[in-house]
Amino acid sequence: MARTVAVLPAGSRLTDFVSLGVVAKSFPEPLIRGILDMTGRESQRERDLPAHVVVYYVIALGLYMQCSYREVLRTLVEGVRWLAGPGVKTKLPGRSAIAQARSRLGELPLRVLYDTVVGPVATRETVGAYFRERWRVVSMDGTAFDVGDTEENVRHFGRPVSSRGESAFPKMRLLGLVETGTHVVFGAIFGGYKESEVHMAESVITSLETGMLCLADRYFLGYDLWREATARGADLLWRVKASAKFPKEKVLSDGSYLSHIRWNPHCRSTDRTPIQVRVIEYRLPALDKGKPGGKGDTIYRLATTLLDPNLAPASELATLYHERWEMENSFDELKTHLRGARIVLRSKTPELVLQEGYGLLLAHYAVRGLMHEAALTRTRDPDTVSFIHALSVVKRTLPHLAAFPPSGHAART
């Protein structure tokens, strides 16, 4: 998609006016300056684009993916004329200055900001965020993004290959957790396209906490990852591969049964103690049942750490597991509504691709946080609030909030 270039008249410095309003509410300037100082990326001298402004700018790139670099800057200073009248003039840095400022900043401050701030936001009053009012429901899964077709990106991220040839673009893999009740993506990491999601999950599960119930697909279930995830204090509800062996050791009152996950020669853990789990089996009728070519019913098996059927009945867990698909809606928000359909991440080097990726996640969090606050005021399920509408409101009002940096939420502890 073409990105048009816009220019404002020369005059006052951009940094006299820029502060992203609703974005600064989620990521207050003092926090950003502290992270820049900690990572050694704070500006050493006064520039047209100092480091803290570039952080806000990268987040804004995630909100305006269809626009050119300079058009995004123009949008951020649009409120200047509204504030001070048509006589106020602003100097818009050129594309080269923007690229140099992003390179000076790098990826690290954005990653640290994401890890520091972004986490579950649901409260006990959030509709649909908890299972049986006890467990915060989260899901783990991954997706991939097309990135700029440069030699550096190909070497770093890799390019998919199939029987029909190579993909048009290299791809970057994302794996993370989603709070299913609010669609907030947290604990996420980026990697190369060929990197194993199971390997990446070892880093992602460090964001699990006591009181969470994590849903995940069958590819993640294994002795090592299960043990590491439960060591964080979280409960698990993961699908089981069809080939996995889970003998029935004790049938429970609701038809589920107790079994064990056992160590095998592929495991890295030195602890070989079998891990007790509860297995739930159920059948989903095929939508095309009775039609020619129908594939038949689907048999699901789930393994869980919730061993007591009175606390977590099998029928309720089977229903809950399909909330995992809420993660696909979160990825759709990132890839279709924020990034835009068929839009490639614009950065040409791996470090700036990662910077752009974290900027996209931070922009998504800012919008989702706003939606959660709106849902709480009406006691509504955040899932029923339109992401497209919320995004359009943020984009429409952002320029008019440019010079008002509100106090933000405190960072997560």
DSSP for 344-399, written as a single string: PB--SSHHHHHHHHHHHHHHHHHHHHHHHHHHHHHT--GGGS-HHHHHHHHHHHGG
pLDDT of 1 higher than 70: no
Structure confidence by residue, pLDDT tens digits, 17-32: 344 566 778 898 899 9
Phi then psi for 253, rounded to 5 degrees? -65, -25
The pLDDT of residue 132:
95
Q: What pLDDT sits at residue 96?
A: 86
Query: Rounded to an integer, what distance in angstroms lies between the CA atom of residue 260 and that of residue 254?
Result: 18
Whether the CB-CB separation of 72 and 61 falls below 8 Å is answered with yes
Which residues does 354 contact at the CB level (< 8 Å), separation at least 6?
A: 107, 110, 111, 172, 190
Q: Go through 324-340 and write b for each residue having 16 or more CB atoms within 10 A of its CB, e for each that does not.
A: bebbeebbebbbebbbe
Q: Among 46-50, 81-85, 378-382, which is the least confidently predicted range?
A: 81-85
Those residues whose C-beta lies under 8 Å from the C-beta of residue 300, and which sit 6 or more positions away, are: 239, 280, 281, 282, 283, 284, 318, 321
User: Residue 166's pLDDT is what?
Assistant: 73
State how beta strands 171-179 and 165-166 pair: unpaired
pLDDT tens-place string over residues 272-322: 999 999 999 998 876 655 554 446 678 889 999 999 999 999 999 999 999
Q: In whole angstroms, what is the distance from residue 27 CA to residue 113 CA?
A: 8
Mean pLDDT of 155-174: 85
Report which of 133, 230, 217 is spatially closest to residue 178, judged by C-alpha positions. Answer: 217
Rg (CA), the chain: 24
User: Bigger pLDDT: 197 or 76?
Assistant: 197
- The conformational region for residue 342 under phi > 0 = left, psi -120 to 50 = alpha, else beta, is left
Largest CA-CA distance found in the chain, in angstroms, rounded: 80
Mean pLDDT of all residues belonging to the chain: 82
- Give the number of C-alpha atoms closer than 13 A to the C-alpha of residue 153, restricted to the C-beta side: 23
- Look up residue 343 and give its DSSP letter: P
Specify the DSSP class assigned to residue 90: E
Q: Is 400 helix (H, G, I), strand (E, B) or coil?
A: helix
Q: How far is CA 196 from CA 126, 151, 162, 203, 214, in A?
A: 34, 22, 18, 12, 19
pTM for the structure as a whole: 0.83
